[in-house]
Amino acid sequence: MIMMERQDIEVVIQVEYGPGKTRRLYENRSAICQYNKLVAAIRSKIPSLTFVDIGLLYENPDKPDHWVVLSQDDREVEDIIHRAKQPEGTEYKLLCFKTFEGKSPATHNQNVISACKGKALERGPGMEPRQLFGTIDVGERNDPDGDLQENFVYSSPLDTEVKTHEEEVQKAEEDYLISVAEYNSLYDVLHPEVDEDPSLAVCSNCHTRAGHHKGQCPSKGDPCPSMKICGKDKFHNDELKELNKLKDQKGKKDQYLKRRRQMLKTTMERVESLQNTFKQKVQGLLINSNKKKYTKVIHDKVFVSWPAVNMDLAILEGHYKPQKRTPQEHEAADFDYIISEAEKLKDKCKRKD
């Protein structure tokens, strides 16, 4: 007698929808047994996904860390719920998903390679314009100069370079994840589980291990048309080439990701070595503490007045050097007072001379 699985069994859905962004949903099996219901349940708990086209990757319950594109076929959703594992000591099943921007294929019979053309959905809201080398491009804005200076935030070239490399690493990680999912999806489609006796020879016509050869094959004249049926790649070169192409792409994206990470690491090491100087530690605090004094607006762009900055940095270094320390962010409010007192003392000495 076949035991039917309870439809009211609780399923915990763990959704990763951004770097460090994970949400857990608690649903009855009957509420997520169809693809549209599953997506609706996820969107209802994660409002940022409401108006975005999303596709889903799922972690193969039988192969941990093996991510596969989920098609919109309700039968596949039922299958992964049925195969989902029940953590020890619990009364629920656990399913793990990751989102990507785009749409899942209608079925896995479609060309799986085109299933994940979108990028991973971890980009978040639009980013503010990036400050490059101490300037900010304000385009067609007609704000008064004072407002431009007030909105300006100084970022050193090295800090900007680190931010750029971090964004490149994130994008490369997303692209690699999609590439792995594409390969895993096609691999699983082309390698179905076939119950065979490994001791029997393979028929070169039907490609099964049934103990007969081509001349005795019941399907003589009707050879196996696809790896999706037999799972044996040596008989289907076209599909094998398609799979190997995805494998090569996955390898290239893995190498590219490693190069991006190395560039980020090298830049951060440079930043760390340079930030040991008083100037590198304090110049950002000083500029942002008095933007009217240390910046100027030319053709709707904000530039740093480095002569003024360097002069006052020398005063601050002379003030803090005897204390053998550098000022912290909360001390930036004292900079104007320290500099003005130093200038008063300098004028007093000049008058005496």
What CA–CA distance (Å, rounded) separates 73 from 95?
A: 17
pTM of the model: 0.46
| pLDDT given for residue 250 in this prediction | 92
More confident residue, 50 or 228: 228
pLDDT tens for 97-147 read 988 877 778 765 443 333 333 333 333 333 232 322 333 333 333 445 556
What CA–CA distance (Å, rounded) separates 37 from 105?
A: 16
- Placement of tokens 């039907």 in the chain: 206
pLDDT band for position 17 (cuts 50, 70, 90): confident
What CA–CA distance (Å, rounded) separates 194 from 109?
A: 18
pLDDT band for position 154 (cuts 50, 70, 90): low
pLDDT tens for 172-199 read 888 898 999 989 989 998 888 888 888 8
| pLDDT given for residue 194 in this prediction | 85
CA distances from 31 to 41, 42, 126, 160, 270 (A): 8, 11, 33, 47, 53
Average pLDDT over residues 148-156: 69
